Amino acid sequence: MASRREFLIGASALALASWAKGAHALTPPAPPPTWAPYAKTFALDACGTIGRQDHQPDAMLSAAELADLRESGLSALQITVAPVGHYLNAFEETMGQIAFWDAELAAHPEQLLSVRDGADLQRARDENKTGLIYNFQDTTPFGEDLDRVGVFHQLGVRSVQLTYNLRNLVGDGCLEPANAGLSKFGRQLIEALNQKKMVVDLAHSGQRTALEAIAASKSPAVISHTGCAALAALPRNKTDAELRAVAERGGVVGIYLMPFLRTQGQPMAADLIAHLEHAVNVCGEDHVGIGTDGTVSATQLTAEYKAEHRKFIAERRAKGISAPGEADDVYLILPDLNHPRRFETLGAMLSARGHSDARIGKILGGNFKRVMSDVWG
């Protein structure tokens, strides 16, 4: 079965012949809009990965994939180094993924930088590199052993998502109907994460798990990638109460580029902007960011892509981790932001709607940079 990283690389983007919605299929692609302040913006994707459609599992990054990353203008990218949605050999798989990305960092020091603290984030921007932040999207690699928090911290993990969609030893994910909240072990894990100055991430969590974790954490918690339930009442999206609680404790909410931005049909950039503006209204402009939950590169909508997408959704349904809003014919990106410079395009769109350059800079990465730096030191 394909891992999350393999699927995102091979099948999570939809290339259209034009950036404009509804353009004729034979129209040459128009260049995406530019936003002049982007050259000086710290852009951070709180949930993503690197790779093109033809990337082979375990292959090193190609020159073209690294060129896409350079074109993106991202100063930092939070990548998932732990398996999600299945628990067999989670520790071993995580160690393998960390070794893979460590090798990429060693192979490309001119472009990639390991992020261990706030100074590394700034250094990535100053040196025109992309800092990689190691993140878990499930706590299963810890098993029942809290000593592994220190092990993974030493290996560079700086952000830990407490649950995926289902229940684990820490608490309930967003698809659990019982909504049981944090376990005793979950509270102990949060304490251990706080001691090691690791960010507590509440994406995919159930409502009680999120609210109890926000209260339990001594440092600000984040939601790296989600949407607003007030606009699309789907389990993967967060209620205003959850969004507000994160902001009140100093955290940041990242909005994703995923199908869950609408209840039906393929979402577009306009849906993303609606969720961003709602989150700003609820949380304030200092507490909203972006976590795309996708790849930097764009890919082609081929027959192979469609088949892999259907297979991926079927496997998730069989395992009980497919969230409402996932569909065979709804792809995991926004078609009119399907190019590496999507952050700059989004900046231009927000500017056209009257948002200030300062606010846009915060949303595109400044807010996540601040809170991560505050937690890590």
CATH of the domain at 312: 3.20.20.140
Residue in this structure with the two tokens 């692609």, named with its chain if needed? 29
Considering the domain boundaries, does residue 212 fall inside one?
A: yes
Q: Is-contact 44 369, C-beta < 8 A?
A: yes
CA–CA separation, 361 vs 358, rounded Å?
5
Q: Which of 182, 198, 184, 183 is nearest to 148 (CA)?
A: 198
Q: Is-contact 201 161, C-beta < 8 A?
A: yes
Average pLDDT over residues 206-223: 98
Q: Which residues lie across from 330 on neighbouring strands? A: 327
Tell which wins on pLDDT, 98 or 32: 98
Average pLDDT over residues 253-279: 97
Considering the domain boundaries, does residue 219 fall inside one?
A: yes
Q: Which of 261, 263, 168, 201 is nearest to 47 (CA)?
A: 201
Tell me, rounded to whole angstroms, the distance of Cα 116 from its chain centroid. Answer: 18
Considering the domain boundaries, does residue 58 fall inside one?
A: yes
Considering the domain boundaries, does residue 24 fall inside one?
A: no
Range of the domain at 296: 4-9+32-376
In this predicted structure, what is the pLDDT of residue 32? 84
Q: What pLDDT digit, counting tens, does each position of 15-49 carry?
A: 332 333 333 333 445 778 899 999 999 999 999 99
Considering the domain boundaries, does residue 362 fall inside one?
A: yes
Q: What SS3 state is found at 254?
A: strand
**Residue 134 Cα distances to 150, 234, 331, angstroms:** 14, 28, 25
- Dig out the tokens for 127 from the structure: 């040196």
Considering the domain boundaries, does residue 309 fall inside one?
A: yes
Element (H, E) at 288: strand 288-290
Q: What SS3 state is found at 137?
A: coil
Residue 58 CB neighbour total at 10 angstroms: 8
Number of domains in the chain: 1
Q: Is-contact 162 209, C-beta < 8 A?
A: yes
Considering the domain boundaries, does residue 241 fall inside one?
A: yes
pLDDT category of residue 11 using cuts at 50, 70 and 90: very low
CA–CA separation, 337 vs 291, rounded Å?
14
Q: Which residues lie across from 76 on neighbouring strands? A: 44, 131
In this predicted structure, what is the pLDDT of residue 69? 98
Residue in this structure with the two tokens 């199908």, named with its chain if needed? 259
